[in-house]
Structure 1
Amino acid sequence: MRRVVVETPYAGDVEKNTHYARLCLHDCLLRNEAPFASHLLYTQESILDDGIPEQRKLGILAGFVWGSVAEATVVYTDYGISSGMKKSIKRAETDGRSVEYRQLFKKDESQSRV
């Protein structure tokens, strides 16, 4: 299995974005990839609070460390690219890691499938 860091939106509609991120992890697994999504792990209750800037920064930095052992960064774009995703894309490019862009849905079905 190929190790990949998964980037999806998180802030805003957290419930919808969490569900979407889980679908993206499922998609990666079906592609024989071992996905890691720091924004799903570190934002869980009693770990880090994404609403506190210092804690958000810690989560981003920890995600960058995991990125250093990944073979690719996979960016799912159905709901756009957030500022946090842009930071991860830039870091992947700086580190020389490939960045792949994917969509789960056709444009007309993005709202009905989530």
Structure 2
Amino acid sequence: MSVSKYNSEGYYDPTAYGAMQTIEQEQRSLRAFRPIVYICSPYAGDIEENVAAARRYCRHAVDTGYIPIAPHLLFPQFLNDADPNERQLGLFFGNALMSKCSEVWVFGKRISAGMQAEINRAKWKNYRLRYFTEECQEV
């Protein structure tokens, strides 16, 4: 968006121009900063449905101005969740990523064992926790 130095009647208007420049600059800086949030939602069980839900939750984070991190969308791509050692490794990686996030967002009313471990860690480390419904409404 380009701001004109002239008003709608064609007259030079430095006051309006200055105000509009300031507003435009503030909007650009808001778009430039996006806090990182950790997405906590179920993976085990109905994996196909849970992955689709996690994608929706990440999209919600993006649409509201955040950068989502969802380890359960990333690590199962190359770690075997059925192997207890690899599952523990994935949880460890997730904890490392959680430490880089400004908030932990918990989605849904069902809290899986993995989610509970993430919530407990977030509480222990005093990370900000926010809870959302499956429809992405904050509770």
State the TM-score, normalizing by the size of structure 2: 0.71
Larger Rg: 2
Residue 102 in 1 paired to residue 132 in 2? yes
CA RMSD of aligned residues (A): 1.2
Q: How does 1:1-114 map to 2 (within 5 A)?
A: 1-44=34-77, 47-78=78-109, 80-105=110-135
Moved over 2 A (4+): none
Q: Write 1 or 2 for the structure with the bigger share of strand.
A: 1
Unaligned runs of 5+ in 1: 107-114
Instruction: Measure how far apart 1:102 and its partner are.
Output: 0.4
Report sequence identity in percent. Answer: 32
Compare relative contact order (CA 8 Å, sep 6+) and give the higher one, 1 or 2. Answer: 1
State the TM-score, normalizing by the size of structure 1: 0.87
* Residues matched between the structures, number: 103
